[in-house]
Amino acid sequence: MATLAHADPASAVDVLAASARPWLFGVRHHSPACSAALPALLDALAPTAVAVELPADLAAWLPWLAHAATIAPVAIAAVSRSGDELGFYPFADFSPELVAIRWAAARGVPVHAIDLPSGRRGGIERGPRGSRERGIAARLAGDDGWERLVEAPAVLAEPERVRRAALLYGWALRLDTGGDVDAFDRARETVMRAALAPLVAAPGARVAAIVGSFHAAALVDGDDSLRGAANDPGASVDMVSSLIPYTFELLDARSGYAAGIRDPMWQQRLWQELAARDGGDVTGLVARCLVEITRAIRARGLPASVPDARAAAELAMSLATLRRLAAPGRRELIEAVQSALAQGELLGRGRVVARALGEVLVGGRRGHLAPGTPRSGLGPHVAALLVELRLPHEPMTEPEDVRLDPLRSRSERSGSAGPRGGAEGRRGASIDRRRHVAMCRLRACGVPYAQQLDSVGVGGVDALTASWRIRMTPATEAMIELAGLRGVTLHQAAAGALRAEHAHLDGDDKITPAALIALTEAAAEAGCGDLVEAWLAALAGPRLADASLGELIALVALVERIAAGHVVGLPASLDDAIPGEIDVYDAPPVERAAIVGAAVASVLGLAGSESLADARALGELARLFQRAEHAALGDGRLRWSLDELARTGTPLIAGAAAVVQVLIGSRDHDDLATQIGGWLDAAVDREGRSRLAHRLRGALGVAGPLFEAEPAFLDGLAARVESLDDDAYLARSSALREGFEVLSTASRRRLLRALGDRLGVTDARGLGLDVVTEIPPAMLALAADADAAGRAAMEELA
Amino acid sequence: MTTKSTKKDAAPGAVQAPPPEQVYADELAFLAAWDAGPRPPSWKLTPRAVVTFVVGSAGETLRTGKLAMAISEKFVGDRALVERCVVTLAGERGLLLVGEPGTAKSMVSELLAAAISGDSSLTVQGTAGTAEEHFRYGWNYSLLIAKGPQPEALVPSPVLVAMRRGSVARVEEITRCLPEVQDALVSILSDRRLSVPELGALEAAQRGFNVIATANLRDKGVSEMSAALKRRFNFETIGPIADLARETELVRRRATAITADAGAPLQVDDAVIEALVTVFRDLRTGRTVEGWAVEKPTSVMSTAEAVAVASSIGLAATYFPGDRDVARLVPEYLLGVVMKDEPRDRGKLLAYWDATVKRRAEGEARLWKQLHELRRVLE
């Protein structure tokens, strides 16, 4: 007989299915077909021991998983004491391992967790599996291989046929690696073989091994042709694990969580049908789902009626017939919904249909732990952390304010302010940094604990210190419990919460660049480096074209803060890090030139804007452009766009563009000064005056500092103002005032001083032209009128 | 514009585009014998054979009795989509193919009609001038005046002919018809009957009758569709070809066929065609194959346009041989496709040249270097 490596599919499956030491069931970790087939197969085999693919160091949770009062979905989370090496193992009713564990517990059969301990998994290289040579598996079953080969034909099939199909798929995947199994899989299989050896060697033993279908060929007895070299992984590190209740929303593969599956509620209901004694009614299940989906569409106010559901059901069933299936599956269901209900719209109706589909197929089921399950996870972790950081950890009635100095490193502190805290002298993150990050993480988790008071320093620069108002309430603990679904350390939970928020926005198609920048900023503060990296890549890549100028400028600022190590949660130096809690961060290479390029491309889009923020963004862009590193970009396009804006933009934007043209040197001062004078001349009517006000606002909004430094800019304006007669001036004065209002108090004062110099007026207080008068305006008006009358009289005499 | 590219690769003849039932007569005859399973009423082939006809047999030679034949691939795309189309046509809703211009909607509808009814000619070509009688019936007025309303005086529309025969009728560009005219189909599709009040008659559709419509939901000058009509259709969205290699292959095949009509082989390198298709894909999706962002021009950048450019270049090389290197023609023709009615699109193409083409030119590829040097053509 040919070895597994050279056999044809049928005889390969014969070899795998005939293996008795151990008996093998190669599964996918969430599989209604395997879960439904498994009990009957185990009943027939009556094994003396059951082995499941679960890390050996998590075996303590087996009794709690099997407990009658534990309601799936639940998950085991494992994390090393230093905070990394996360393992995550969700279980649902349709997880074959959980089915096997429950079956064994009910019959008193011992269960063994045989997989590589989670504590020995660090540092082993992992590659993508089976994607190198996608030949055999794809030929057998197409792109969604497992679904087509195992799940879809499982309706009304003999359990043994399901087992053979699953083994066949795993064998094909294995063959597709071309013998090049990666180090991680080889390490796991080495450990699994070692764990199985004594079990199968026991006299009279019948061992059932429920493992991933990919691994079956490495565990089969009597054929080692597909094994790959043994790989003995290193020593174990100490892990903390916890059993947590889980939800279908998180189990859904699109939630961004590892080890999920698409549409868990569909899988759950399919499992119920398949596991039913009479073989179930999958066609009926599809029809029921379609009715629920049309109802959910109707509930959102769009037409979808019984004939629509019927047309979709008819389509799903005919597709199943055409594909020679006993009943339509998830694929046919979704195709039918898209074709018959979505009406070709991706947005609008398409969105509503997608939401309805999610509601029915993903579901909102929540798991529960059996009473008495050891409590672990986030709650105790946060409590210990708060004590360690000497932060309030008891509910309190009055809030407490703290001021932190999180960016200062420990060595500086000990030099200046003296020791504070017990472990000084040791390198690592200062306690203020740790406190700050912990509070940012709690905030990211949505836990009401601390509120940041002021985040901007004097003059708009990044603040060095941070003030927080802490108030712990009973709600704090409740929310920590909830956040515990997403991880067992604060770091994981914060990353999970942020990821969930991202998935949520994504699901609603509300991932605007602004939202993503805000999320990235929150992730940076919470020290979630991998999220920052992924989202920055998205922002600097595909999202770039959607962003507005202001958003792009904000993005550049964020990238620069991160690269400079100015984000508390992402220290650039080892001195400021504490492994597992706050890791050193290597800022990813983000192509700033590409962002600036996109910013240039978006300049024209401002033409219709009336917002001062947009005008200021334009100024920021010009400033970015002056940096040496962007010199290579070439500013031809920017110049052209600015010309366009100065000619066709709204008054505010045209004013700003005119100034930016001077900033980048595409026109000179005098030209601008003359033009500003022209604006004043043109302000002859109400509309003209409003234009003047807006143009000045735009110009000054961008160039406040410039005007201060070089009042020559305002020469044109000043010269015209001086030559105006009082009536003409008064008519324009409110527009001028409105225009100059954008200046800050300090800028305004400097400007007045400069104007004073120009007129030769000096002021003892150094305030230039800032005239403060005690005389009521009405009196001044009377005096001015008298002056004017006197002048008129004089002119008549002359 | 829509593609009428049903021509088989090499079939020069008097007619520019013979219908598929004629071009593929041998395949259709073979498939009728190949799958003898149950057929929906009036269908010439089984649903499975229809799917095979449209997507081809993937190079495999099918056998039945003494006959053996490989079915050519006609539609490059998702097999599941074709399966859904076929299943829809066997059911009680019409099929509406939607998508960007140039994604082979019309071709798919012709192929389906040819395979199912053996006749793709029962077609209403929708325009803003299409009137209700194009969907229902008109009159032979001289006969009408001479004899009064008689069945002989009635001129049936293609839809009515299809109803009488139990065939598939096609409506091209349905959204270009005015909404009230489109709605003539509502009762036909739901009741499957057409009343002729002048004759006091009710024409009932034979089993097997159905309608394939194609539509562009987003182009200029298209009309809305009423919710009532939408409900009578299953929608299938035909997208651009997902895979670069397959699109390149398709463009090469079609361009070869077009230059063959001119009596010459295609003298364009595969590398040039691949570069051309790459540019089209980048500009179509707003994202390069490397993942860099690109500004999308407003013009249509479909596979059909890529075919047009490739064959134009091929014809230029045939009719004006030795004038210029064919690669030098690429930027000119690209500009012609990109800059249709929006002057800013030129800026976008330039930006693409300055960013993406430049970066590729910095790599090793000689062709991209050459293209980058041709930037001035675009200015």
- Give DSSP secondary structure letters for A291-342: HHHHHHHHHTT----HHHHHHHHHHHHHHHHHTT-SS--HHHHHHHHHHHHS
A541 touching B (Cβ < 8 Å):
yes
Per-residue burial over A480-514, b if 16 or more Cβ lie within 10 Å, else e, is bbebbbbbbbbbbbbbbbbbbbbbeeebeeebebe
A451 touching B (Cβ < 8 Å):
no
Residue A410 and residue B253: Cα distance in Å, rounded? 69
Residue A114 and residue A196: Cα distance in Å, rounded? 7
Q: What is the pLDDT of residue B3?
A: 44
Q: What is the pLDDT of residue A412?
A: 47
Q: What is the pLDDT of residue A1?
A: 52
Q: Are A523 and A498 in contact (CB under 8 A)?
A: yes
Residue A646 and residue B289: Cα distance in Å, rounded? 36
Which of A342, A542, A597 faces B355 most closely, judged by CB atoms? A597
Q: CA dihedral in degrees (A621, A626, A628, A632; nearest 10)?
A: 70
Scanning every residue of chain B, which has its alpha carbon at the shortest distance from the alpha carbon of A604? B344
The answer to whether the CB atoms of A323 and B96 lie below 8 A apart is no
Query: Which ranges of chain B have pLDDT less than 70?
Result: 1-13, 217-218, 322-324
Measured in whole angstroms, the distance separating CA A218 from the mean position of its chain's CA atoms is 37
Which of A331, A339, A545 faces B234 most closely, judged by CB atoms? A339
**Preceding omega of A63 cis (within 30 degrees of 0):** no
A333 touching B (Cβ < 8 Å):
no
Q: CA dihedral in degrees (B353, B354, B360, B366; nearest 10)?
A: 70
Other C-beta atoms closer than 10 Å to the C-beta of A542 total 15
Residue length of chain B: 379
pLDDT digits (tens, 9 = 90+) for A351-397: 889 889 988 999 888 888 888 887 767 888 888 888 888 888 887 77
Q: What is the pLDDT of residue A422?
A: 42
A542 CB neighbours in chain B (<8 A) are 286-287, 291, 293
DSSP state of B289: T
Which of B51, B235, B294 faces A342 most closely, judged by CB atoms? B235
pLDDT digits (tens, 9 = 90+) for B23-73: 999 999 999 999 888 899 999 999 999 999 999 988 888 888 888 899 988
A355 touching B (Cβ < 8 Å):
no
Which of A319, A594, A634 faces B84 most closely, judged by CB atoms? A319
The answer to whether the CB atoms of B91 and A315 lie below 8 A apart is yes
Q: Are A365 and A246 in contact (CB under 8 A)?
A: no
Residue A156 and residue A337: Cα distance in Å, rounded? 24
Structure tokens at A668: 């000179």
Residue A626 and residue A621: Cα distance in Å, rounded? 9
Residue A147 and residue B80: Cα distance in Å, rounded? 14
B292 CB neighbours in chain A (<8 A) are 541, 594
Which of A307, A340, A601 faces B234 most closely, judged by CB atoms? A340
A343 touching B (Cβ < 8 Å):
yes
Q: Rounded to whole angstroms, what are the CA distances from A366 to A87, A91, A244, A377, A490?
A: 21, 12, 11, 17, 22
Backbone angles phi, psi at A293, to 5 degrees: -65, -45
Structure tokens at A47: 């094994």
Scanning every residue of chain B, which has its alpha carbon at the shortest distance from the alpha carbon of A600? B351
Other C-beta atoms closer than 10 Å to the C-beta of A41 total 21
Closest CA to A93 of A255, A247, A306, A272: A272
**Prediction pTM value:** 0.70
Full 3-state SS string of A376-439: CCHHHHHHHHHHHCCCCCCCCCCCEEEEECCCCCHHHHHHHCCCCCCCCCCCCCCHHHHHHHHH
Mean pLDDT per block of 10 residues along chain A (798 residues) reads 77 88 90 93 94 91 92 83 69 94 94 89 65 51 72 86 91 80 86 91 91 89 80 76 83 74 91 85 92 92 89 92 88 91 80 89 87 79 87 81 78 41 52 89 88 59 75 77 78 87 79 87 89 85 76 84 84 79 81 78 82 83 73 71 85 86 80 81 82 85 68 70 78 81 74 72 60 76 88 86
The answer to whether the CB atoms of B291 and A322 lie below 8 A apart is no
Q: Are A33 and A151 in contact (CB under 8 A)?
A: yes
Q: Are A328 and B83 in contact (CB under 8 A)?
A: no
Query: Alpha-carbon Rg of chain B, whole angstroms?
Result: 23
Residue B193 and residue A458: Cα distance in Å, rounded? 78
Measured in whole angstroms, the distance separating CA A684 from the mean position of its chain's CA atoms is 53
Residue A290 and residue A334: Cα distance in Å, rounded? 9
Backbone angles phi, psi at A219, to 5 degrees: -115, -5
Chain A nearest C-alpha distance from B5 (Å): 24
Residue A524 and residue A565: Cα distance in Å, rounded? 11
Per CB distance under 8 Å, which residues of B are interface residues toward A?
A: 47-48, 51, 80, 83-84, 86-88, 90-93, 96, 98, 217, 227, 230-231, 233-237, 286-287, 291-296, 344, 347, 351, 354-355
Q: Are B139 and B191 in contact (CB under 8 A)?
A: no
Residue A664 and residue A675: Cα distance in Å, rounded? 17
Q: Are A678 and A718 in contact (CB under 8 A)?
A: no
With 0-12 / 13-18 / 19 or more C-beta atoms within 10 angstroms meaning exposed / middle / buried, residue A116 is buried
Which of B236, B344, B354 faces A339 most closely, judged by CB atoms? B236
Which residue reads 């509601």 in tokens? A359
Q: Are B6 and B111 in contact (CB under 8 A)?
A: yes
Pairing verdict, β B94-98 and B233-237? parallel
Residue A487 and residue A496: Cα distance in Å, rounded? 7
